[in-house]
Structures are given as structure tokens and as C-alpha cells.
Structure 1
Amino acid sequence: MDPVRYRILGTTQALRTDGTVVPVGGARLRALLTVLALRAGRTVPVGLLVEEVWGGDPPADAPGALQALVGRLRRALGADAVASDEGGYRLTAAPDDVDLHRFERLAGEGLRALADGDPDKAAVVLDDALALWHGPALADLPDRAAEAARRDTRRLDVLRARHSAALALGRAEQSLPELTALCDSHPLDEPLQTLRLRALRDAGRTAEALDAYEDVRRLLADRLGADPGAELRSLHAQLLRLGDDSAGSAPVADAPAVGNLRACLTSFIGREGDIETIRGDLTAARLVTLLGPGGAGKTRLSQEAAETLRHAMPGGVWLAELAPVDDPAAVPEAVLTAVGARETVLYGAGAEGIRAAVADRLDDPVARLAEHCSRSRMLLILDNCEHVADAAARLTEELLERCPGLTVLATSREPLGVPGDCCRPVEPLP
């Protein structure tokens, strides 16, 4: 039987190389194919297949029902399409045969090209990645919310990067319609709003850009009680100068670096290749974990790699040192302290009323962190996670789901086990 490619970015489909659709009828059958394609080439345990295919409401003889469903899928795709392995089943396809995995590969290539100053290549590759979407991700999974949200967040990252490449290539007018629509659907996304204002500026529409900034400022104040981030404020200053001088003026100096990384007192040699690799990882994935034994240099390496991305992080680069944390329950508070988002204690007339009004929001440190980290693109380093790995993993997964502009770089002696984690081993220097 001819090779088959799979779509799960939209309604689940199987297609032959000539584009002919292979009929996969029935919601359960498409759900099974979705779960297997999501993990193409890997064995998926029977229990997980049952849980995801039947959405938490399995039949009485779940293993037997699953076996019958696998038989139907084999008849549709070919006997060799689904292999039986110990404890589960495996779709015998390479990851690049599935549109989702192809999207991730192309997204990584495009983001690296943009970070390396090649917007032409970035635009082409990112267009190819975005063209793979034909509807909501994992549309045929009964319970798709959490997994699909991660994929949608990734797509939004790629859309931002694609418009950044377009602006670098002088295509502001072409980008404006889609940027405006994206900002309408994601009004609190500061990186998107920044791109729209840059496009208006580059198109010579300074007055519109200034009006749009005021709209964003009011929205952030009303919804979050926050001011625009450093990148938006810096861009606003440029727009004011352009408005004052129609002939233009020298660009405003970059905003001061944001974050809490301390200046290093010694030089750093022998890891240049590792830094470049990790930099690439951080442009392609939202969670990167440096794995290695104690004393391998993970902490210093994480900070040196993070320094290379400061310019792309208007929300700052923040280091949370978890080594002193003994109680796993204290991990969120430790991270809050590190990023400077702990509760402000209010005193004086009217303070009681203000405290009462925000009490619910301030009671939950994870909610406070999510609110803080969702305001602008930010890199968070979680250092020495191994002794609180479960707590660090739970916090990381929740923050990544709720904060589309957040990237996390962790150091640990063991993987965190968070979906989408890019693990990078670190060996001691000779």
C-alpha cells in the first residue's frame, strides 16, 4: 500500500502521496488515529489510548473495544500501519509524516533563522509551517482542551515571528490586516500589539500608532491594573518623537535590560558551542531543561545562554534559584519573589478597601505568577529543580499554558517530565 501522511491540525485525515484521502470513518476511529499520530513512531499504552479515545467514559471491555478499533484502522490504512507492541500500539510512521510534527520542525528552523538575522529564510519556512494548519488542532480528540491549547500557543508564537520577519523585510502594509485581526482576538498580548504598532509606524501611520498605543494602555490598566511593558513604552517614545518631527529623528535608545541576572565576575570559555545550541533550543521550544550531574556547570551555562536572548525578551530574563527551597509547596512563592511580583503590603487610608478588592487574586501565588508572566515576552530560569522536581514541573506546565509569551529554561539532575520539554544534557568540562 502507498505511503500515508497524516493531518491532525484540523479534522484528522490520512492522505496518500498523490493527495487522495483515505476514508477514516467514525469519531472513535479518528480519535484513535489522532492519539497515535500525536505520538508517531512511539508505543502508546493501552490505558492512555482508552482514556483519550473515549474521553474518560470507557466501555465495559475497554481493551477489547480498543483492539476492535485498531483492527478497523488497519483495514483502512493497511495492516502494517499500526503495530502491536508490548502494552500498547504504535503508528508506524516517521514524525515528519504527521503535519503537527512537521510544523514543529519547520517552526524551529524558521525561528532560528529569524534569531540569526535571516528574515528571508524565516519568512519562507514559517509560511510553510503555518500552511499546514487546516483548522483547530486535534479537533477529533474528545477531550482536547489542554493539549490543543499548547499547540495553539505555539502557532501564535510562529505567527508573531512570521510578522517580525515581514517587518524586517519592509512589508508592513501587507502585515497590518492580519496583525490587526490577531490583536482584536488577543488584546492583552503585548508582543502582538507591539508588532502592530511597529507596522503602523513603518507604514508611515504614526498618528494611528499613537492612538493604538493609548487603546492598549487603557486596556491593560482596566483589565490587569498594569502599565505597558518596557518594549511598548520604548516604542511609544519613538512614536512621540516621530509625531513631533515629521522629518524623523534618531531612534530612541533601547530600554534598559530587564531582569535580575547578576553581572558575572569571571570570563566564560569552553562552552561557546553549547551556548549556541541552547540559544537555538530556546527559539524552537518554550521549555528547555539542562540535565547533568552536580558541578557540571548548568547554572552558569543557563545564565550565559539566557544573556544572548535578552534583546528578544521585553519582559526580562529572570533567575529563580530553587536550591534553598526545602518545601515543594513554597516553589511558587520563591519564583514570585525572584521575578519581583510578591504582594505589595498597603497601609494608610483606604488600604483595607484596596486589600479586600484584590484579596482573591493575591491569595493564589500561581495566579499572581500567571498574571505577571503573561504581560510580555519573558524568559524564566528555574535553577536546581531536582529536589522539588514535581512541584517545579506542575508550576512550569501551568505557567506555559496560561502565559503564551513565557519561555522557561530549567536546570536539573533529572527531567521534569513536562510535555514539550527539550532536554539538553550538560557534561562536565574536561
Structure 2
Amino acid sequence: MALAEKLGADPSPELREAHLAVLREETTRLRGSNLRAALTSFVGRDAELALVDRRLAEHRLVTLTGPGGVGKTRLATTAASALAGEQAVWFAELASVSDPADVPQAVLDALGHRTAPHGRDALDRLTDALSPAPAVLVLDNCEHHLDAVASLADGLLGSCPDLRLLATSREPLGLLGEALVPVPPLGLASTGADAAGVLVSPAGRLFVDRARAANPDFAVTAGNAGVVAEICRRLDGLPLAIELAGARIRSLPVDRVLALLDDRFQLLNQGNRAALPRHRTLRAVVDWSWDLLDEAERSVAAALAVFGGSMTAAAVDRVCPGDLPAAVVLSALVDKSLLAVDSVHDGRSIRYRMPDTIREYGLEKLADADRVRAAHARYFREIAEQAAPHLRGPEQLEWAPRLAADRDNFRVALRFACGAGDADTAIRLATALAYYLTMHGDHAEAARLLRMALELPAGATEANRVPATAAYLLNAVLSGEVVPEAIGRCRESAGSEHPSGAVVEPLIALLTGDFDAALAAIDRRQPHPAPLARAMLSFVRALVNGNRGALRQTCDDLAAAAERFRALGERWGMVSSLTYLGITRTMLGDPDAAIAALRCSMAPARELGDDHHQRIWLATAYAHAGDAERAGAELRGVIGSEPAAQHLALARLKLGDLARGDGDLRAADEQYDLAWWAVGPRRDVDPVFRSLHGMARARLALARGACEEARRDLRSALAAASKTSDLVLVAAIGSAIAELPARTGQFAAAAELLGAAGALRGSPDALNPDIARLTGELRAALGDPAAVEATARGNDLNHHEILGLFEHHLAAPADTGR
């Protein structure tokens, strides 16, 4: 009938037969596919592939959404190829279509129909072609012509009942009945994962696959697993970026690739020459997304790049106000895959996160960066000042999580204020954050941030400067940081009547090694009228006594401090006091009491965030009690809990020690390597970690019989430890130095070194597995009386003599005359 209407007369039998033949030919051809065979492996999308399959079984329009380079096209073609054979499967690439009116013809071209004869439009022709039999049509890269694609999809689905559409787009088509499949970045390896953990992660597998294609000799090892994981993390798990980075292994070592990611757009500028231009480089991918934004969206997106971590609509309204409410623009940027809704939020409001790649691009585009950064710093100063009074008592459980959600923003704000020379904002922000930074547990970072603010020219009020000064000094002690110039600048706050000022003078004396002056300063201030100051002074007294080797007095001070903090509902002080009590009891050879104190600290630690630090020291107490299996289980539990970098590194070091003690030197070596990479860039500014890592490496070298390598490692460890105020750490290195003369038959010298280390520590630490083993060997070699006599000689040395003894035994054998 349709043919008769077009001809104006009934067609002849011959013409009807010819027409049917053409239709039969088209129907037969449409049972095929124009999907290209894949040239590379498909990695890490099993869950998403299954979801697409279910969606297609239940819905006729399925849209894969996600940022550019996330792998939407590859996922769509892989899902569609599984359906080929059962029905026709066609792929239409729309990225090159410049005029939205040409979208139907572009799809028709993909089906092999180059023209629309007899004056019929492309949509009618497509309907005729796709309606006779079941078919799946993939519409790729729909985002730049959303209205045209939506109109086409609506028309085809309404006219072709057996047709299913699978679209890829950076934002939804917005049609009724559309089922969305958000395509996330590839899964990353857990923090500090070993080589096996990296290879299990989809992002790690993709990087390794592409790296090996470029360089067949590339392999993931314990030494580079952390680097590979960090590359994938820095690239936001984005498959295209990871592939481009993997290809760089052809000419660059993997650690160099990581270093060059500071300018990722320059590094990742060579891609597949056969790909569409917008997929050849990382910059081209982001350019494409950015160009799809309207002017208001571009302005806000660029301003959002100043945020660290996540953000709320309220923060965005204050930092980068615009004509539209922030929530409206943020929602649009989420739809266009430039922002993600953060899975971690404070329970009060939705938080948004910008991928690092988009953030770097946005900073390039931000014209008035200083103005926006200043607004950001002011806003977060206000938030910190609002929270500060609530952090020193029971309310800290409510307020600390609020600050934790914006921890990265506080860092960014403080660094900007310091860099801009804005002393008022920097000091006020540092003061407001001082207690929170101390509570958080990364004392090395807290000390650096607070010192940076205090280095600005004076001008802040006493109420602003003194709390920041006290917090800096406390974190300097707890992290081992000793910066004489910074300590000198703190002296002006020593006589302050501000409650926080009570600890300034004793902490300065502790950091400069004048323990008697520190104790005298505490005695002059106790009992302090402020309850929190009384508790803090008890805690500082414990730190002083611990560093001068009076460990039993330290235990008394810590117990008193814990009780005072408990009475105030101040959990950080209580947790810290109980944790250090457990550590001290361990060194005194009382692991049962240590375990009890550490277990008491764990529940309140979890209330503040996590108990990783406490569990690491609990594992140490188990090891001293002879229960290596339980110690290892505790450490592995911490490692599997995504701990902070400093806790992960310490857990790895201690797990390596257990492996070494068990004779598994290869496993120990791997754990020490993983610890090195876990700690990240802070290894360059953290003398405590460098000391611990150097000591661990030295003991491993000794276990392998490489005494000179051990000597070099111990020299480095002692040099790093000498830059800290931590004499317990120096004593631990001294115990390791004792292994050197023992290996050459100088058993009396080794016993003297153990005695000297014990004197510095205030305890022989007799249950430490390494010290217990060496002590047994020395007693067997010397006999008990001679071993005791040599140990006593070391016990009788003063501080300076002990350090001289350590240095003497670290000198090259040819240089020693003893």
C-alpha cells in the first residue's frame, strides 16, 4: 500500500518483487554488526558489565554516564558485542558531528546507508532500517548534541518496538524511561598495597598491562608497587590517563612518571594516533568536557579548583558566589561528570568532590585565583573558629568529625594564608585548628603547619598566638621535630597567663634537652587553676620523665594525666596518656600491663576516628610477650583498614620485624620497601621515620651477614635521630649498633653498648625480641658475671659519653682504635 501511494498506481508484480528483495537484503544485513574487534585487553569492569546487561534486559534506553576518559565507550561496545549474533548490533560515533541536524544521517551512515533516496528524511530511513528485526544501537558521545540525540532516540524507540538503545554521554539524555549506568573510575589498590594488591586492583592491572605493552621487562615489585598505586590514585583511576601513563614506561622509569605527574597534561600528551583527536591526550579529553559548559558553569568550576578534598554547597556559595545558587550549579556539574557526589560526608549536607585532573585544569583556567583563595581561607577560618571552643571536652565527639570532613580544606587555607603573608588569617586559623591538628594524630604535619603560621611577622594578639605556640611545641615533641629557630621564637609566649601558655616553658626546655628546667617549670605552675592545663602539665611531665629515662615516674604521670583528662571528658588526652602508658610498660618489661592500658585506650580512640596507632603498639606488646602470631594478626588488621600513611608505614615496619625474627628475610625486605613507599613524600621531612626505617634495614642487613651495609644504615639512622628530641629512639638505634661488635667477637663491647642504650632509655627493654636474643648470645659467650659487668659499664655512662660510644662503633673498623 505504501509503495502504491508513492507511485500513484499499483506496482507491477516485478516491481513489488524487487522492492521486497531490497527489504530482505537490508534485514539480512542488519542482523550483522559494525563493531570493531578490540585491540587491547578489557580490564576491571565485571560489575559494570553485568549491570549494563541487566539494564538492557529491563529497559530499552540505557545511558552510560561518566567523565571523559572513564571508559564509557569501551564498556558499551564490550556489552553490545556480547549481544551480537542474537540480533543486529550497530555502533554510531557522534563526536565528529558538528551540526545537531546531522545526527540522524550520521547514524544512518553508521548502518551503511549513505543516502536517503526519494526525498525521505534520515529518521524515516532509520525507522525503516531498524524496525523489521530486534536490534541494539549504540550511540556514542552524545553529550555535545543532547537535544538532537534525545529527539532521535525518542523517535526511534517509539517507532521500532524491538530496538534497544545504549548511549554514552557525560550527562543523561533526559528521556522518560531512560535507565542510567554511572561508570565510575577504576578501583584503586588499598593504601600501601603490596605487589599482589596492586595487581588485584583494576587500575593497577590496567597500568601494568599497558606498561608491559610498552616495555616487556616492566614488572610490579615490592619496591615499585607503591609508586604504581600512587600513579593510579593521582590519575583518579581514569582509564585513559592510566593508559597514557603506562605507555610512558617505554622511555621513563616508573618513579619518574610519578614525579612528572605534577604537570600531568604535559606528560600525558601522546596517545593513540588512530583515536579521535579528543581522546589522544589527557588535555584534549578535559578540553572537550570544559567546552560543553556554559560561561557560568566554567566560572564556578574554575573557582571550585581551590578547594582541597570535598566541599558543600554552603561553602561554595561563600567562596565563589554567582548569579545562580551553588546547589544548582553543583548539580549541573555533577550531571556533566565534572564533579562527583562524595561517598564520605558529615551527615548534615551533601558533599561534592572534584577529581584531581579536573582540579589542575580548573586552576589553569582560574583568572582571579588569589581573590578566590583568600575567600576560601576566610570561610574556613570562620568554620575553625566556630568549632575551636567545642574541641576541649565532651563536645569534641560532635565537632571533630565536622572538621575532619574539611581537613584538606583547612590545610589548603592555612598554606595559602601563610604563602600570601596574611598573618592575621594564618595565626587565627592556626590557633583555631591547633587542638584539632593535635587530636588528629599526624603530629609531624601539625608541627609543620603550625610552625609555618608562627613564622609570619608578629601582630596577632596573645589569645591568638599562645595556643598556636603551645600546640606547635607539643606536636614538635610528639613528632621529634627540633627546629632551633622556631623554638627560639616561641620563648616570647613562655610567660603568658593564657591557660595554653602553661606548657610553653616546659616544652621549650624539653626540646632543648634541659630536663631539670622543664620539671621546675611544671612544678611552678601546678596545681594550675585551669583543669585542662593541669591535665596537660601532667602529660608534659610524663614526656619529660620519659625522655630522661625515668620510666616508672613516667607511668605515674601518665596515669594521673589519663584520669584528669577522663574527668574532663577530653578523649584525646586520655587516649594519648593511655597509649604512652602502654608503650612505657612494654619497655619496662610488663607486657600484660601494657596490653591492659592499650586496650583501655582503643574504644575512646575509635570515638575520635580510629585506633590504628593503639593497635600497632598493642601488636608490639604481644610480640614482647612472645605471641608473634597475635602480633602479626593485629598488624595485618591495621594494614587492611586503610590507615593514615604514618600508621601504615609503622605497621609495615613492625610486620617486617616479625618476618625477620621468623627468618623470612625476603618477606621482611618486602615489608620495609612497602613502608618506605607508604609514608610518601613525608619521608623527606620526617626524621623519626627515616631513623626507624634505617634501623630496620640495618637489622635486615645484619641478618644477611652484610655488616658494612648495616653500619652505613645505622649511621644514617643515628644522624636522622639526632635531629629529634626522642632519646628513646636514639637508644633503640644504640641497641642495634651493639650487633656490630658482637658479629666480630667483641662481646664485651656489645654488652657495654646494650647497657648504654638501656641507660639512655631508662630500661633494658629486656623482652624486645632483638635485645633478648642478643643478650642471650652475649651471656653464652661471656658468662653471666662478665656480661653483667660489661653491661654495667654502659649503664654508668652519661648522655654525652653514650652518644660518643655509639659514634665510635659506627666508625669504619679501620678507623677505630679500641
Q: Which has the higher helix share?
A: 2
Q: Which has the higher strand share?
A: 1
TM-score normalised per structure 2: 0.20
If you compute each CA radius of gyration, which structure gives the higher value, 1 or 2? 2
Greater RCO between the two (CA within 8 Å, min separation 6)?
1
